[in-house]
Structures are given as C-alpha cells and as structure tokens.
Amino acid sequence: MSKVRVLFLGTPQFACASLQQLIDDEHYEVVGVVSQPDRKSGRKMKLQASPVKVLAQSYDIPIITPESVNTDEVLAILKKWNAEAAVVVAFGQILSQKFLDLFPLRVVNVHASLLPRWRGAAPIQRAIMAGDKVTGVALQVMVKKLDAGDILGVRKVNLNDQKNANQLHDELAILGADLLHVEFMDYLRGNLTPVPQDESLVTYAPKIEKSEGQLDFNLSASELHRKVLGLSMGPGCYSFLNGKKIKIHKTRISSQSYKVTPGQIVEVGDGIRVQCGQDCLEILELQPESRPRMPFKEYLKGYPLEVGQVLTVSC
C-alpha cells in the first residue's frame, strides 16, 4: 500500500502527539496542516502561534490558519493539496459537509472521551467532574452531527481521586496518536468495520465557563475535589476569604465532619481543612491575589489563618 496523503487539522498541544505520529509513520504523508489563527496570549498579549502550527513549521509542512476552513477560497486550497484523507484533533472549528466531502478516504477525528459519552468541547473536564471511574479516547469517522460518527477504536484509562485534567490530557493525547497508528491504518486497508454509536448512551460535555470554578462549600467534599481536579487546565477553582479571592489548586478529601457551617475552617494542620456539605476538604495548594501558587504551609507564613474563619462564594 502506497503512502496515504493526509491533511491534518488541529490547534492545541493535545493535537501535537497525533500530528507527530502521522509525520513519523511511514504509511502516511502529511501534505498540509490547518490550524487556528495566531491569538494574543500571555501577560503582554503578544500574538502566539498554535502548538500545531509551530510543529508543522518545524517540518516545513505547508500550513494555513484561516478564520474559517469552510470558505470556497480555503476549500480550493485544500483541493490543490490533493489529500486522500483528513485527520482532525481538537481543531476548534465546525466543519461543513462540503469539507467532509473533499476526501475519498473520509475524515476521522480523535476525541478525548469514550463516545457516545461526553460529546462536545470539554470531555476531559466533564469526565473527572462527574466522577467517572473510566474514560478514554475514541477515533471516529466524522459526520456533520457533533461527535456522532461511527467508532473505529478506543483506548481506556482508569480515573482516581488524584488524577487531574492536565495529567489525563497528556495521557489521552498519546493514546489518541496510537489510534492513528493502528486502527486508522486498519480502516484504510479495509480490515476494520466502523461501529455505530449507541444514541441511547449519549451525554454532552459543554464548554467550561469561568463561573464553574467557584467553590460552593455546601456541596460535598467529593464534588468539590473533583471540580478542582477537573478544572486544573483552566479556568481553575476559587473561593473568597475576608473579601479577597484565593485560587485553590490542590485538595484532598477528609472523611471527618464537624457540626459547623459549610465553608468554615475547622483545622489548620496537615492542610487547611474546611467543612463542606458532606465531609471536609483539605486545601493543600493555593494562590492569593497577585501572588504565585504555593503550598499551604508557605501560604500560612504570610497569611495566618484561624479556626472559625469562613470561605465564601463571593467577596
């Protein structure tokens, strides 16, 4: 079988492992890359190229970064690249049927969940926040409907009360690349039959809103801990103490419980222990306003706390 001419579409770091796999794999030829336009980021708000763009340029692969991949002008460029198949990984744009119809060997997508569970923009975060015991990554044949394509393969990962979204992100990126190495090639060779998704099992993973990072201590310690784990990639979690915002980066659950108002600090020892609606949450790493992230012991040196102080949902 001759090399398959592939177009790659992706933007963030998550997609880089998949692009690298296609570049390194002797069965594929990456004829072009499409990524999101450069965006302003960082404290100085300088224009930054996407990680995928940087990787593609390091290999001198042709790349375009249109605001929309679906315009006639962009589609004409893609036709000239003469790709037989396309691979989409965390690209960040909705693809038209005209785009999907360009490729005789179809368009496939690496999605960071065990579809049909967690279709949508934030599957990694939603799986952790929901308390899923198992999640993973799926390779689907793309259709116009959101994340509803037939499945070519999956890789599963166990979750626990210590794995955060950053760690899961990196793990799934590598496993997703392996799906392109094995299942995608099997599919192209005609050795793998796609499996339709069970629509009765569909759940959705909407985009994370900043307001979701607010910690309400009326919830259980387990729910709050999962939120801290799930939002570690951003926007992060926060609360207010004495009217000032503090970001909370690392926690653990304590099964001890006290007959006090949720949000009240009940102990300052091995962590900053806070009563929740059920059980206690121990804060291990936090960040005061305009200061770096720090372990709780370092925080206490500059911001002494007393039992009885209360963390609130607003200032």
Residues 227 and 255 in one domain: yes
Q: pLDDT at position 214, please?
A: 98
pLDDT digits (tens, 9 = 90+) for 184-208: 999 999 999 999 999 999 999 999 9
Query: What CATH number did the domain enclosing 272 receive?
Result: 3.10.25.10
Residues 257 and 159 in one domain: no
Tell me which of 155, 179, 201 is where a domain ends.
Answer: 201
Domain span at residue 67 reads: 4-201
Per-residue b/e over 65-85, b at no fewer than 16 CB within 10 Å? beeebeeeebeeebeebebbb
Residues 191 and 215 in one domain: no
Residues 196 and 214 in one domain: no
Q: Are 119 and 203 in contact (CB under 8 A)?
A: yes
DSSP 21-75: HHHH-TTEEEEEEE-PPPEEETTTTEEE--HHHHHHHHTT--EE--S-TTSHHHH
List 247's β-bridge partners, or say none.
238, 287
Domains contained in the chain, number: 2
Residues 187 and 302 in one domain: no
Give the predicted TM-score (pTM) of the model.
0.96
Query: What CATH number did the domain enclosing 160 receive?
Result: 3.40.50.170
- Eight-class DSSP state of 14: H
Tell me which of 201, 226, 256 is where a domain ends.
Answer: 201
Between CA 34 and CA 158 the distance in angstroms is: 32
Helices and strands (DSSP H and E) totals, the chain? 9, 16
Residues 238 and 178 in one domain: no
Residues 197 and 247 in one domain: no
Residues 127 and 158 in one domain: yes
Residues 215 and 185 in one domain: no
Residues 259 and 282 in one domain: yes
Q: pLDDT at position 270, please?
A: 86
Tell me which of 181, 201, 221 is where a domain ends.
Answer: 201
pLDDT digits (tens, 9 = 90+) for 33-83: 999 999 988 777 889 999 999 999 999 999 999 999 999 999 999 999 999
Residues 238 and 92 in one domain: no
Closest CA to 11 of 75, 109, 92, 67: 92
Between CA 263 and CA 306 the distance in angstroms is: 13
Terminal C-alpha separation, the chain: 64
- Residues of the chain with pLDDT below 50 are none
Q: Label residue 163 left, alpha or beta by phi (over 0 means left) and psi (-120 to 50 means alpha).
A: beta
3-state helix, strand, coil in the chain (%, to 5): 30, 30, 45
Q: pLDDT at position 1, please?
A: 75
Residues 99 and 182 in one domain: yes
Q: What value, to the nearest 5°, has the Cα angle with vertex 98 and ends 90 and 141?
A: 45
